[in-house]
Every structure is written in structure tokens, then in C-alpha cells.
Structure 1
Amino acid sequence: MTAKAARTARRMEKTAAAREPSPHVKQKQERRRGEILDAAAAVFSERGYFNATMKEIAERLGMQPASLYHYYPSKEAALEDMCRISAVEFCERLRGILAEGGPAAAMVRAGMLAHLTSERRAYVENFAFSRRNLPAGVVRELNTLARAYRQIWRKIFIHGAERGEWRSDLDIDVAADAVLALCNSAAVTLPRRKNAEEDAALKWVDLFLQGTQKRQS
């Protein structure tokens, strides 16, 4: 590299560094991005993904649409981000519950409550029912995350079977599918009720466990 080329490279590096936002600005941008995703998730849930518009999301936040596009160029980009974030978070949370050990019934209770009372409930609804509208490659990635989440649930039910906690005729795969179906369905209905708190979610949890646990003689 010639001396002139080296000087040019150094100038370019300095220019790039000068354009890099400060940690404070980055934090502010991430917070705003989260607020946008929360608003988008709520609008998608209320209006339906196809009917929702970026203008409605901006209005909910008191933003100009042009400012919104600075963070997300389309509602598709927002949907993709919220689906990926929620899928990763839910997998990590359930892995942590499994790693703690103990009775499987307690794991199911903790896992269901984490799912049903999460602040990301609207994200869950959109992941479950709207992700198919994303590009095929993104859908495949998200489906892989969905299978990973189901697999963790399956391990919990296997753990319970090994401990003799479940009914003798319980099908592990059916149980894993059932808990996901129940959680996704309840995630849609619970936020629309006035008492959408832990007590309401516990009724769903208890109903599920009554159908899976071995009856005490």
C-alpha cells in the first residue's frame, strides 16, 4: 500500500468512527426500537397483520411516519424482528426452567406462566399466527426456533415420565403440542380480559395439569 493509499484508508476509518453513535445514543435507539415493536405488535393483534399500516403504528406512538421508517422500513421488517426476539427469549427462558431441575409439574407450571404472563404476549400471537406472511427463508428460520421451543417442552414431559408424574397413557408428543396450542390460544385471549394477570393464567395451567398428572389414589 502506498503512503497516499494509507492516508486515505486512515481518513476513511476516522470518518466511519465519527459516524458511529455514542453508547448513550445507541441505548436510546434500542429503547425506541423496542417501543416501536411493542406498538406494532399491538396494532397487528388488534387490526390483523394485513390490515395494519405503518401510519397506524406511528400514530400510536405519536411519531411521524418518516421517523418510523428510520427504524423499520416496512411492517414486514417489524414483524420479522418481533418474531425473532420473542422466539429466542422464550427458548432461553424455558431452557432455564428445565436446567433448574425438580418436579416436571413445577416446570410445566413455571413454563406456562412465563408464556402466559409475558409482556411479549402480543409478540407471541403474531409469531404463532402471522409469521407465515414473511419471506420463505425467514419463515424457515423462525420455524426452526419454534421446533426448538417445542423440543424443550418435550424434554420436560420426558423428565416427568421418567419420574412417574404423568398418567400412564400420556403421549409425550401430544402433550408437547397441547401445551403449545393452549398457551398460544390463551396468549390471544388473556390480554383482552380485565383480569389478565397471573391468577387468570393459573386457571389455564391448573386445567392442563389436571389432564396430565397421575391421579393420587
Structure 2
Amino acid sequence: MAAKAAAAKRNDRAAPPRQPSPHVKQKQDRRRSAILDAAAGVFAERGYFNATMKDIADRLGMRPASLYHYYPSKEAALEEMCRLSGVEFCERLRAIIAKGGPAVAMVRAGMLGHLTSDRRAYVENFVFSRRNLPAGVVKELNTLARAYRQLWKKIFIHGVERGEWRADLDVDVAADAVLALCNSAATTLPRRKNADEGAALKWVELFLQGTRKR
């Protein structure tokens, strides 16, 4: 009997953890998303170094202890929001490119997607705070940033091939310029009144006026 009991205990220890039901998993995913949104806002407003897990918990009206169940540290939250936004922005731009058509239309759609995304605070943290993460994570995120830039460069090359741009347009400079404008505008638009698609479109048209063929 003792041998059987010992074997049963070993089997219990070896058993994989029980997976949550689909309903519970959806609830957990919604909670994780809400925590990331709150963390992104707190980091953007207070600065990553000044922000605390308690600040995030207070914004959500939850106890810090409950927060640690989802993210063990603010570093873990920053890492996930940076990775998530980097992947999403690349996927969105790839989808725009895959549709084809004029490069001008691609630039307009890509810039509007960047400027009106509900993850604008994520962008601010990706741009300005990712360097605070471990070296291996920073390397991965930098790879995502380069991939995003290459997609923009691909759009400008497409426009050159179609004769849409000014004759002296440098596609590398154009890719860097659109990213600089989008990242800057993404951090200022949310703090302005009426920061809707119409406001974002003014930034887009201002950029396009300097690149299109006259």
C-alpha cells in the first residue's frame, strides 16, 4: 500500500497543469489586455522608471497582488507590449502591401493605421523604453523595428517603380522620415483635443506633399 501511495504521489507531481476552460481563458486574456493598456498609459505618462506596479494596479482599481498573478514585474509588461505592438504593426503593413495598388494609397493607409491605432501608447513605449529591457529582448525588438522599416522602404521602392515620387526621392530617407513623423505624432496626437482620423490625416497629407511627383 505504501508503495502504491508513493507511486500515486509521483504521478500527481508528473501530471501536467490543468488547462483553463475556454471561458476562463478568454477572461484571463481580457484581463491581461486591460493590464497592458493600463501599463502602457502609465509608462507613457509617468516615464518607465518612475512608474510602479502599484500605479498600474491603481489605474485598474485592483490590488497589486492580483496584478502580479499576470505579470511578475513592470519589465515583463513592457516586454509583452513592445513585442505585441511590433508584430501587429508589421502584420498590418504587410497586409496593406499585399493588397497592391498605388504607393501613395499604401502610405496613406499605413500612416493612418499607425497614427490612429488604439495602441499608440504602446508605440511610445516601444520607441523610447525598449532599451531598458534585457539585451536579448532588445535585440529581438530591434529586429522587429528593422522589419517594419524595411516594409516602409518596400512601399517607397514600389512608388519609384511606378513613377509616383519626386525624381530625387531617397527611399531610405523616406522610410526613416515616415517613421520619425509617425512615432512623434503618435505620442502627441493622444494628448490633443479632437485627435481623430481627421487630425491624423493632416499629418499624412503634409508628408505626402513633400514626396509626391509634381
TM-score (norm 2): 0.94
Per the alignment, residue 20 of structure 1 pairs with: 19
Q: CA deviation at 1:10?
A: 9.8
Identity %: 81
Counterparts of 1:146 and 1:12, CA distance in 2: 45
Counterparts of 2:80 and 2:125, CA distance in 1: 11
Equivalenced residue count is 209
Name the SS of the counterpart of 1:212 in structure 2. coil
Give the unaligned 5+ runs of structure 2.
none
Counterparts of 1:27 and 1:174, CA distance in 2: 43
Per the alignment, residue 33 of structure 2 pairs with: 34
The answer to whether structure 1 residue 73 and structure 2 residue 72 are counterparts is yes
Per the alignment, residue 86 of structure 1 pairs with: 85
Give the unaligned 5+ runs of structure 1.
none
Per the alignment, residue 133 of structure 1 pairs with: 132
Name the SS of the counterpart of 2:144 in structure 1. helix
Structural RMSD (CA): 1.6
Per the alignment, residue 199 of structure 1 pairs with: 198
Per the alignment, residue 99 of structure 1 pairs with: 98
Counterparts of 2:100 and 2:87, CA distance in 1: 21
Q: CA deviation at 1:20?
A: 1.7
Q: CA deviation at 1:23?
A: 1.1
Q: Deviations over 1:133-160 (max 9, x none)?
A: 0000000000000000000000000000
Q: CA deviation at 1:16?
A: 3.0
Name the SS of the counterpart of 1:16 in structure 2. coil
Per the alignment, residue 170 of structure 1 pairs with: 169
Counterparts of 1:114 and 1:98, CA distance in 2: 13
Q: Structure 1's 20 and 169: CA in aligned 2 closer, same or farther, altered over 3 A?
A: same
Name the SS of the counterpart of 1:71 in structure 2. coil
Per the alignment, residue 61 of structure 1 pairs with: 60
Counterparts of 2:8 and 2:164, CA distance in 1: 69
Q: CA deviation at 1:85?
A: 0.2
Counterparts of 1:106 and 1:60, CA distance in 2: 39
